[in-house]
Amino acid sequence: METLHGADRGTLDYMLGRFETSKQFEVLAVRTQDDYKYCRKVLQGFKTKLGIPFADLRRASITPPTVQRLVDKIAETHPSKANHVARYLSAAYRWAGLRVGVEKNPAKGVQQARERGAHRVPDAETMRALIAFLRERGSRKGHTEGSVSPYLWAVAEIAYRCRMRGIEVRELTDADWTVEGVIVRRHKGSLDNITRWCPELREAWDWLANRRNKIWQRKVLAVPLTPDKRTLLVTESGHAVGRSTLNTAWQRAMQQALKAGVLTAETRFGLHATKHRGVTDTPGTRRDKQDAAGHRSPTMTDVYDPAGNMSKKPG
């Protein structure tokens, strides 16, 4: 077995590691890099029937059917994640074709998973009950029975009030605070805008900022001088919360909510659904909803508010 610094050159993960440290990877957009790093962790954690992670498979043994089975298995519960992994593998193999001596791309031509056409959107009462639950359970001592990550209630509140994706909440910094409200820097082609302060949004923001500051003081960490480097959402170690960390924390909290009877299998929803609820609850006309969500077209607003509900102000 040929190794380099303890890494088996013949494994998939060796190739992925080379890709991740390449010059071509460095020039990718930051969010693309984050997505690819997340997908690599998925492969490192996905156990095969051989009892080893998919990433530890020998590249020579990976065929298109192997990748298709991987995608199909992940898609049983997370179709969007499955497609991200498939695209990541295809990109990594394309890079490796002329650099690591990989002749074939087994991810090429793999059939993507059918993603859900509609998100499960909670009713207002269910969402408020969940946020209250997250707040109570988050106040418990960490890593004790029934506790959840302390920041989840504030993340859900901000995502709802500002109609934000999880990644957009994770990327908030002190530079996004203004006297008028929160600057929302949107992804996927949506337009940036400002969500005006309301008591609930202000409370959630201040809570996260105070929590972060206390952690930095306790850990004696250097505080970035520029506001755009001071991330609002951090872990207990003081570092920015990553995608996988937030996803895992949310899923664990949903399990706790199911056990407590706050949610049922039918009412369980993902973090992204809080954005849907926020768009639906935005007062005014369809154009008002479109502007508040940063959508470039009414068609996208229809995805988030298909019934055209004229509901009360969020909250």
pLDDT digits (tens, 9 = 90+) for 12-49: 999 999 999 999 999 998 878 988 999 999 999 999 99
Q: Is the pLDDT of residue 208 over 90?
A: yes
Angle, CA of 20, 23 and 25, to the nearest 5° = 40
Q: Are residues 87 and 151 in the same domain?
A: no
> Looking at residue 187, what is its pLDDT?
87
Structural domains in the chain (count): 2
The last residue of one of the domains, among 96, 112, 140, is 96
> Looking at residue 78, what is its pLDDT?
85
Q: Are residues 151 and 295 in the same domain?
A: yes
pLDDT tens profile 66-92: 999 999 999 988 888 899 999 999 999
pLDDT, mean over the chain: 88
Q: Are residues 256 and 145 in the same domain?
A: yes
Q: Are residues 91 and 133 in the same domain?
A: no
Domain assignment present for 116: no
Domain assignment present for 226: yes
Pick 119 or 73 by higher pLDDT: 73
Domain assignment present for 237: yes
Q: Are residues 281 and 194 in the same domain?
A: yes
Pick 201 or 5 by higher pLDDT: 201
Question: Residue type for 310, please?
Answer: M
Q: Are residues 17 and 62 in the same domain?
A: yes
The last residue of one of the domains, among 45, 77, 96, is 96
The last residue of one of the domains, among 43, 78, 96, is 96
- Which CATH number covers residue 158? 1.10.443.10
Q: Are residues 31 and 171 in the same domain?
A: no
All residues at 6 or more sequence positions from 136 whose CB lies less than 8 Å from its CB, including other chains:
none
> CB–CB of 85/70 below 8 Å?
yes
Q: Are residues 139 and 235 in the same domain?
A: yes
Q: Are residues 153 and 281 in the same domain?
A: yes
Domain assignment present for 137: yes
Domain assignment present for 312: no
pLDDT tens profile 140-174: 999 899 999 999 999 999 999 999 999 999 999 99
Q: Which domain holds residue 182?
A: 124-304
Most confident of 25-29, 93-97, 176-180, 303-307: 176-180
Q: Are residues 200 and 298 in the same domain?
A: yes
Pick 173 or 291 by higher pLDDT: 173
Residues 201-223, mean pLDDT to the nearest whole number: 96
All residues at 6 or more sequence positions from 199 whose CB lies less than 8 Å from its CB, including other chains:
none
Question: Residue written as tokens 């500002």?
Answer: 162
